[in-house]
Homo-oligomer: A and B are copies of this chain.
Amino acid sequence: MSAPLFLLPSPLGEGTLTAMFPLFNFQIINSIDYYIVEELRTARRFLRKMNIDKAIDDLTFLVLNEHSKQVNGKEYLQPCLEGHNMGLLSEAGTPCIADPGHVIVAAAHQLGIEVIPLVGPNSIILSLMASGFNGQNFSFHGYLPTDSVMREKEILFYETLTKKTGQTQIFIETPYRNEHLFHSFLKVCDPVTRLCIACNLTTPEQSIVSQSIAKWKKENPDIHKRPVVFLIN
């Protein structure tokens, strides 16, 4: 009989762990000896912070990230098939949302392994809740093109979609490129379009500002190299 694969959220940044995770997550972590992780160092640091009772050196870590070639889900999930609980850890936030973990989960379903997602911080949902924008209809697009012409074309496309359907559009960016994305919104969007900038979520520096492009044009938000979610509506 196979054991379950737990999907374990991790912190979005420096903040209080008891504000981010239910007690249950701390308990589950103490039931797991086998982890699939994106980076060893972050994973070990997270487990130490969670005050894990086990010796971290006794745990087995399998690495899955953008450098992993020809991922064989069955190999990764061998411990589950042998009856050991496994944990899939994200670098930040919830696994499988904007990270490569979904390949493992798809394999788990094919192998008949139970998949159990745990509650934790997700920057897309937290920012959507706090934006004041339409939460009945929304789309997450991940990263926009780095080329400014292409990026501005896509922003215009999504802004038009929002005007037609009311759908909220959600984007993220590599933190050192945040200001380029911000200036693209200012350049191409209608002054009445609303832009929400949700920065440093769940940390003591959390800042969530939701206002029209016209108002943003008078401001210079401090978003360089910080984790940000951008939403328009």
Q: Could you list which residues of chain A lie within 8 angstroms of chain B, going by C-beta atoms?
A: 7, 16, 18-24, 94-99, 101-109, 115-122, 124-142, 167, 201-202, 206, 208-211
- CB contacts (< 8 Å) of A130 on chain B: these are 7, 96, 105, 115-117
A233 to B40, CA, bound (A): 30
Q: Which of A16, A98, A107, A132 has the most CB of B within 10 A?
A: A132
> Are A142 and B136 closer than 8 Å at their CB atoms?
yes
CB closest chain-B residue, reference A167: B139
CB-contact partner of A122 in B16, B103, B115, B122, under 8 A: B122
- CB contacts (< 8 Å) of A132 on chain B: these are 96, 102-109, 115
CB closest chain-B residue, reference A88: B129
> Are A96 and B128 closer than 8 Å at their CB atoms?
yes
